[in-house]
Amino acid sequence: MTLTRGQRFEITETVFLKLFGLIYLIAFASLWPQVVGLMGANGVSPAAETMTAMRFDYGWRAYLDVPSLFWFWRSDAALKALCAAGCMASLPLLFGVMVRSAALAAYILYLSLVSIGQPFMSFQWDALLLETGFLAIFAGSPLLPLAYRCLLFRLMFESGLVKLTSHDVNWRSLHALRYHFYTQPLPMPLAYSMQHAPDWLLDSLTLSVLLIELLTPFFVFAFPRRIRIVAVSLLALLQIVIAATGNYAFFNLLGLALCLWGLDDECLAWFRKWRPVSRPRLARALSVPVAAIMTLSLLQILDLGPSFLDGFEIVNPYGLFA
């Protein structure tokens, strides 16, 4: 059966992987000039000392709890080399060549840094980048659009759910945005104007955030496709507003990239001249690990996921602004 462009996601995959390569490049390049000062031998939290202590206390389990190439070369030069190699690995994704190999290399390199980067790389955008990157290893799988929509669903729905289950009265009273703009870590200039908006507007926006995060994610799986497109447009709008009022590194750009998976090839026809990602001969075989990841995603929502995979950050919990 021949699929129409409204039922295909080849252009979507191509655009996503290029944008994702750019995000990886931003992540590695921004860490490069800081990594020695943060995790080097004379840094704020020397990684080599921590890993030596872990190896002494936990034995071989340390390698599973802290999966990192840094075990094999513990020096300041190694930290810089990991960042440089990460920048190089992101380029094939950006240019659409050898994407699966590049995605695997970038994932291993970023995981190597995140694993040793506590407390500097324990943020949810680091976990989201790794989970998104692990799925990218299976580019070409017919299940990939569904898998990424599942990830987008978990990111947004769990972020809404945690606001209500945190027992913070400001979310339940819809007063949260009265305080958010000046208590967030890095407010943008627009945050000053938002902070001085009337309370009725801020409370209305708080309600809008909760509705978008708790209800809209269910419609990213919707048919007809128009409903799905409206849903991801609302989620994308939320990411843009957050980015306009606060600096959360590459998180919002990554959130926007995930929203692309709600758009089919007909929506992205403007990019049809871009060379599509090559399909492996056994593309359907890639669906097996992707299906396994989606199963783990469901278990994670129910808090039933296996703990032995935690160190690899393949499936993670999310909950922003609790």
Q: Identify the pLDDT of residue 241.
A: 95
Asked whether residue 318 is domain-assigned, the answer is no
- Containing 305, the helix (H) or strand (E) segment is none
Q: Identify the pLDDT of residue 85.
A: 98
d(C-alpha 124, C-alpha 65), whole Å: 18
d(C-alpha 200, C-alpha 262), whole Å: 32
Blockwise average pLDDT, block size 10, the chain, 322 residues? 69 96 98 96 93 88 92 95 98 94 98 93 94 96 95 96 91 94 91 95 97 96 91 97 94 97 93 83 86 91 79 91 78
Q: Identify the pLDDT of residue 247.
A: 93
Asked whether residue 320 is domain-assigned, the answer is no
Domain residues for 91?
A: 7-312
Give exposure, 127-145, as e/b (b: 16+ Cβ within 10 Å): bbbbbbbbbbbbbbbebbb
Can you say how many angstroms the Cα of residue 229 is from the centroid of all Cα atoms in its chain?
Answer: 20
* Radius of gyration of the CA atoms of the chain, in A: 20
Q: Identify the pLDDT of residue 17.
A: 97
- Global model pTM greater than 0.85: yes
Give exposure, 261-286, as e/b (b: 16+ Cβ within 10 Å): bbbbbbbbeeeeeeeebeeeeeeeeb
Asked whether residue 2 is domain-assigned, the answer is no
Q: What is the number of structural domains in the chain? A: 1
Contact by Cβ (8 Å): 213, 156: yes
pLDDT tens across 74-107, in order?
999 999 999 999 999 999 999 999 999 999 999 9
The CA-based diameter of the chain, rounded to the nearest angstrom, is 62
Q: What angle do CA 150, 119, 112 make, to 5 degrees?
A: 65
Q: Identify the pLDDT of residue 273.
A: 87
Q: Identify the pLDDT of residue 306.
A: 76
Name the nearest CA neighbour of 113 among 96, 97, 130, 92.
Answer: 130
Q: Identify the pLDDT of residue 5.
A: 59
The secondary structure of 60-83 as a DSSP string is: THHHHHS--GGGG--SHHHHHHHH
The helix, strand and coil proportions of the chain, stated in percent and rounded to the nearest 5, come to 70, 0, 30
Name the nearest CA neighbour of 211 among 164, 255, 169.
Answer: 164
CA distances from 127 to 107, 120, 251 (A): 11, 12, 10
d(C-alpha 120, C-alpha 63), whole Å: 20
Q: Identify the pLDDT of residue 37.
A: 97
Q: Identify the pLDDT of residue 205.
A: 96
**Burial class for 57, CB neighbours closer than 10 Å (0-12, 13-18, 19+):** exposed
* Residue that the structure tokens 């992987």 belong to: 17
d(C-alpha 4, C-alpha 6), whole Å: 5
* Residue that the structure tokens 């959130």 belong to: 255
Question: How far from each other are the two terminal CA atoms of the chain, in whole angstroms?
Answer: 46
d(C-alpha 142, C-alpha 156), whole Å: 23
pLDDT tens across 19-50, in order?
999 999 999 999 999 999 999 999 999 999 98
Contact by Cβ (8 Å): 31, 292: no
Asked whether residue 322 is domain-assigned, the answer is no
Asked whether residue 317 is domain-assigned, the answer is no
